[in-house]
Structure 1
C-alpha cells in the first residue's frame, strides 16, 4: 500500500492552517512543508499538530523567490523521505473533501500511476489539477506564478473522481492580501525573461481583470488569442475579454467576444448563457431564445467536467432558469420547459430566490391531471356520498380520503370531510366562530361494473379536545393488517395543532386514538402520513427534507395529557437526503404499494399575491424506504387551491383513483391509468 506525504509551501498561515491539516489527516502518512518566511507561529502550529497525531515529517525553510522555485524546493525536500511514495500537493487555504464511504486503504492501494488529477474549486466552479504526484526527483514546477508540475515524457496520468476526493479551494490564505499585484509583478518579470509565453500572458490578463484593470486585461487577452496553442486558454481569453467589455459598458464588443468564443470552440456555452441572460433581461426574448437554443445541444450532453475554470452552475441550472422565463414569451419549437423547471428546482446548488421564482412562474406551464383522465369507471356513486346524512346546509363537502377495505379488496372506504368555513376568490379563509369538521365514512361495493353505496355514517370521535377547532381535520385512512388506521390534524387551540393517530372501528363507527408527540415538536404539526413497508410494518413520514421516517411507540415517560389520555410518540428510525425542492413538500396522502414501490401524493404551495397549490407523486423503494423517483409537479384542474388526502391503486384495471377538492368546497374524483401517470415521472 502506497504512503502519502503532504507537500506544500506556507507563509503566515496560522489563522487557517489547522483547517487544512484536519482535512488531510485521514489520508496522509507524513508531511514535508517548506516555510517561505513566516513571521507568525505557523511553523509551531504545524509541528505541534502532527506530533499530537503521530504523523512524522519535517519543515524546511527557504525564503520566497517565486512559486515555481519554492514549490520545486519543497518537492526536492521529499526525495528519500520515509512514508512518502506519493505527494499530496496542497495550499493552506484549501480543504480536502473525502467521501465518507471511501476506503482510504483501498484508495492508497489503487495508486499505481505517476500523476493524478484532482478536481479543485467549489461546487459551481472547478477545474482539474495535478495534486497527487509520485515522489520522483525528476519532477519540478514551472512558472513564476500559476505554476504547473513539469514531469517527464514517459509520465502516466490518471484522474480521481470528483465524487471521491475533491479540493475545496477557499482562497483565504495569508499570502492573498496582495495576490493580484504580486502576480502581475511576477508575470511581467516572467515575460521579460520569456517573451510571448502563452501561460504568462493568459494569467497576466486574468490578474489585470481580477484587479479591475479591464483595458489592460483586454489587450493581454488579445495577445493570448494571437499566440494560439491550447484551445481552453484561447476560448477563455475570448470569454473573459467579453466580461471585461461588459464591465466597461460596451455590450456590442462583449457580445462580439462571446460569439468569437463560440465560433472558436462551440462545446462550451458559458458565453452563450451570458448573451441569453443579457437579451432576456432587456426584454429581447426572441434573441434570448435563439441563443438558448444554440446552447441547448451542449447543455443536454452534459459533458463538461474537464473544461478549464468550469462555471458548472451555468450547466446545472442557470441556462434552464433562463429558459423557464423565456418560454413564456417565446418557444416556437415547444421545447420541454417543465423539464427545465424541474431541473432547476431539484439541483442542490440552486439559490432559494431562483427556485421560488421558478415555482412562481410554474403556473404558466403546469400540466393538468384532468387531461389524463381515463373515464373507464362510472364514479357517479361517489358523488352521492353524504346525500342521505342530512348535513347542515352551512357545511360543504371538501377533501375525501380513500383506501381499500383491509378485509375486502372489492370494497372501497371513503372518508369525506365537511367543513363550515369558506375560501374566497382571493384565497382568504372566511371562518365561523368555531372551525368545524364533520367526517362521513362510506363503504362502496366494487364487485360489479356499477359501484354501489353499501353504508355510510358520521364518524364519532373523542370530543374532549374540541375548542375553537371542532372535529378531526384532514383524516387520512389506510388499511393495515385487517384494521383501518388513520392520521388526522387536531387543533388544540388557536395556532396549535397536533397529530392524532389511531384506528377507526367500522362496527362502533368511532375512533380509538391518541395524540402523537415527536422530539423537537413544532407549534403546528400537520401532514404526517402513514404507509406499510415491504415487511408489512406500519411506518410514518414526518418530513420530506430530509425524508424522515419513524414508528409510533408508547411514550417512554408514560405521558398523560391534560385530558387524561395517554400520549404516544413518533420515533424517527430512518433519514434520507432528498432533492432541494423537497423542503417545500408536505404530505397529502398515505402511501400506496404499487409493485416494489410505495407511492404518495405530496403538495407544495407557492406564496404570491395568494396561495397556489401544486402536487407531485413521490415513489419510495418498498424495502429500503429510500426515495426512488418522483413526478413532474402537476395540478388537478389548474385551480388555485386544490387538495387531496387519498388515492388507491385498482390493480385489475391498472388505474389510480384519486379524491380531491377544489377551493375546499367541491369534492372531485378522477381515474388515470398507471401507464399514463408513468409519463409524468422524471426520467433520470
Structure 2
C-alpha cells in the first residue's frame, strides 16, 4: 500500500480531500476506500446511521491517513452532501466526492489542476456521462436538489473535463434496494415545492421509467423538453420518450416523430438517429433507413456530458448500415462494413457473431471482378474500332 501511494504522489501535484456520505455500506466500502486511498491526503466522511459496522471499516482502511468521521442525521441528499462538503472546506487543494459503490481509477498522469471544478467520466456499460467530482478546496460549495443533487457555488465556476481519473460505478451500494421508490418520493415532493425546476422534472421522468411507469415517464419527458434550457437534457428527454413509445407503448409513428425532434434539437448527437434507423429497418423500411445511415456513419462522438452512448458511434450505426446495405442491393458496401466491424477489437461477441453471419449472406452477391484476359479483349476491340 505504501509503495502504491508513493507512486501516485510523484504524479500528483496537489493535495486531495475525500468527501463522502455513507450508510450501511459494509459490503462495498472497503473496495471504494482501498482504491482511493493512494490519491488522498485527508478525508471527511459523514455516516447517516449505519448499523452494519461501516464506521469501523472506514477507520480500518483509512488508518494512517488524517481525516474525520462524523455521525450526521439524514435529511436529504442535497442537505447532507452540503454539510459534508462544507466541513471539508480548506482541508486540501481539491475536494474529491465519491459514493461508496464507486471505484476511482487512474488512466493517465494527473496534471496540475487549475480550474475551479472538474468533470470526471463515468465508466459504466452502455452509456457514458460526466459529473463534477473534483472541486476547489477553498470555495464554499453547496449541493442543489433533494436527490440527483449537483454542486454549485455563488462565485463563478470555471469547469473543465478531466480524463486522468475515471469513476467506475458498480451501482451496488447499500441504499440501492429501494433507490427508485425513495427517489420518486423525494422528487415528487420537490416538484410540488418547485414545479418549474427542469432538472427535477428530468430526473423524476428517469425514475418513473426505471419504476416501469412508461406513460408517466413519457409525459414528464415531454414536459421537460418543452421547458427548454440545457440542450443535452432536452435531447435526452426526447430520446428516452421516443424509446418508451417504440418499445413499451408500441406507438411507432409517435416514436418516429419524437426521435426526429430529438435529432433536430441536437444534430451532433446520433443516438436518436440510430434508434430511428434501427426501427425503420426492423419494419422493412430499408431504403429510408439506409439513406439516414449513409449520412452519419463514421461521425465522431461529441464532447457532450449527459448520457452519451459511445457504442452507437463506435459500431452501432455501422452495424445497422451493414444490414441495410445488403437489403438495398449494395452488397460490396455491406461486405466492407462487415469487415470494418470485424476489425474492431472491442466489438461485443453477439454482434461479432451476427456480423459473420450477415457477411456470409452478402459475399456471394458481390459481382466477381473481370478477369485480366477479359479486360484485354475488351481493350483490343476498342482499339480496332478506332
- Structure 1 segment 36-185 matched on structure 2, within 5 A: 36-51=48-63, 54-81=64-91, 84-99=92-107, 102-103=108-109, 107=110, 110-122=112-124, 124-161=126-163, 164-185=164-185
User: 1:264: how far off?
Assistant: 2.0
How far apart, CA to CA, are the structure 1 residues paired with 2:364 and 2:14?
A: 55
Other structure's SS at 1:278 match: helix
1:345 counterpart = 2:345:
no
Alignment partners' CA distance in 2, 1:121 and 1:141: 23
2:359 is the counterpart of 1:359 = no
Residue aligning to 1:244? 244
Separation in 1 of the partners of 2:364 and 2:267? Answer: 33
**Structure 1 pair 316/207, CA: closer, same or farther in 2 (3 Å)?**
same
Structure having the higher helix fraction is 2
Q: Distance in 2 between matches of 1:113 and 1:228?
A: 28
Structure with larger RCO (C-alpha < 8 A, sep 6+): 2
2:18 is aligned to 6
CA positional deviation for 1:288: 2.3
Question: In structure 2, do the counterparts of structure 1 residues 173 and 220 end up closer, same or farther at CA, with 3 Å as the change threshold?
Answer: same
- Change in Cα spacing, 1:60 to 1:258, as seen in structure 2 (3 Å) is same
Structure 1 residues 129, 374: closer, same or farther in 2, change over 3 A? farther
Residue 314 of structure 2 corresponds to: 316
Which deviations, in whole Å up to 9, do the C-alpha atoms of 1:418-453 show, x marking residues without a partner? xxxxxxxxxxxxxxxxxxxxxxxxxxxxxxxxxxxx
CA contact (8 A) 2:269 2:301 kept: no
- Shift in Å, 1:265: 2.0
For 1:367 and 1:97, locate their aligned partners in 2 and report how far apart those are by CA, in whole Å: 48
- Contact preservation (8 Å) 1:218, 1:244: yes
Instruction: Determine which of 306, 323, 326 is the counterpart of 2:324.
Output: 326
Q: CA deviation at 1:313?
A: 1.2
Which of the pair has more CA radius of gyration?
1
How many Å separate the matches in 1 of 2:216 and 2:342? 40
Tell me how far 1:267 sits from its aligned partner: 1.7
On the 8 A contact 2:34/2:61 being kept in 1, the answer is no
Name the residue aligned to 1:291: 292
Partner of 2:187: 187
Query: Contact 1:85–1:135 at 8 Å: present in 2 too?
Result: yes
Separation in 2 of the partners of 1:322 and 1:219?
A: 30
Q: CA deviation at 1:322?
A: 1.2
CA distance in 2, matches of 1:201, 1:28: 36
**Contact (CA 8 Å) 1:338, 1:366: kept in 2 or not?**
no
In the alignment, structure 1 residue 220 sits paired with structure 2 residue 220: yes
Deviation at 1:235, TM superposition (A): 1.1
Q: Confirm or deny: 8 A CA contact 1:116 1:157 kept in the other structure.
A: yes
Equivalents in 2 of 1:178, 1:349: separation in Å?
Answer: 34
Query: What is the rounded CA distance, in whole Å, between the counterparts of 1:313 and 1:50 in structure 2?
Result: 37
Q: Secondary structure at the match of 1:111?
A: coil
Give the deviation of 1:344 after TM superposition: 2.3
Question: 1:625: which partner in 2?
Answer: none
2:89–2:140: 8 Å Cα contact kept in structure 1?
no
SS of 1:268's partner is coil
Determine the C-alpha separation between the residues in 2 that align with 1:152 and 1:341: 53
Question: Is the CA contact 2:19–2:43 (under 8 Å) kept in the aligned structure 1?
Answer: yes
How many pairs does the alignment contain? 358
The offset of 1:365, in angstroms, is 4.2
Q: Normalising by structure 2, what TM-score?
A: 0.86
Report the Cα distance in structure 2 between the residues aligned to 1:2 and 1:172, rounded to whole angstroms: 31
Contact 1:123–1:312 under 8 Å retained in 2: no
CA shift, 1:301, in A, is 2.8
Contact kept, 8 Å, 2:299 with 2:313, in 1: the verdict is: no
Give the aligned partner of residue 631 of structure 1. Answer: none
How far apart, in 2, do the equivalents of 1:215 and 1:123 lie?
Answer: 26
Q: Could you tell me how far apart the structure 2 residues matched to 1:58 and 1:170 are?
A: 25
Contact conserved, 2:221 with 2:238, CA < 8 A, in 1?
yes
Unaligned runs of 5+ in 2: 1-12, 374-386
Native 8 Å contact 1:60 1:77 kept in 2: no
Residues 289, 331 of structure 1: 8 Å contact kept: no
TM-score, length basis structure 1? 0.50
Unaligned runs of at least 5 residues, structure 1: 376-684
Q: CA deviation at 1:152?
A: 3.6
- For the 8 Å contact 2:22–2:47, the answer to whether it is kept is yes
> Secondary structure of 2:49's partner?
coil
Distance, in Å, in 2 between the alignment partners of 1:372 and 1:50 is 72
Q: CA offset at residue 189 of structure 1?
A: 1.3
- Structure 1 runs (4+) greater than 4 angstroms displaced: 365-368, 370-375
Please give the alpha-carbon distance, in whole angstroms, between the structure 2 residues aligned to 1:148 and 1:360: 46
